[in-house]
């Protein structure tokens, strides 16, 4: 699976929630990444994925670690576009 910009954000978040469905991913210039951080709520972290996506939803870090990841970011990908709501 691959995606760029907003599609890159989608691919990364899909991997967090459904890594068992993936063989490999390529993420290009994601605007905002979701960290595997339990101290922040979705989409900044993974603290409340079960609340957001339903009972039984969890992030399996061991399963994520088996997925090869290509991350492509250039020097022009250092600005946040849009307002604070993004």
What pLDDT score does 74 carry? 78
- Look at the chain and count its residues: 86
pLDDT(79) > 90: no
Q: What is the pLDDT of residues 4-26, one digit of tens each?
A: 988 999 999 999 999 999 999 99
pLDDT of 31: 78
User: Could you tell me if residue 82 is left (phi over 0), alpha (psi between -120 and 50 degrees) or otherwise beta?
Assistant: left
Above 80 in pLDDT, residue 80? no
Bridge partners of 4? 28
pTM, whole model, 2 decimals? 0.83
Could you tell me which residues are beta bridge partners of residue 28?
Answer: 4, 72
């Amino acid at each position: 699976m691959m995606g760029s910009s907003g599609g890159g954000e989608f691919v990364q978040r899909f991997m967090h929630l459904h890594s068992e469905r993936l063989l490999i991913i390529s993420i290009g210039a994601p605007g905002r990444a979701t960290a595997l951080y339990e101290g922040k709520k979705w989409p900044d972290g993974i603290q409340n994925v079960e609340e957001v996506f339903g009972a039984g939803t969890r992030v399996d870090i061991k399963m994520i670690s088996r997925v090869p990841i290509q991350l492509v970011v250039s020097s022009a990908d250092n600005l946040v576009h849009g307002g604070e709501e993004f």
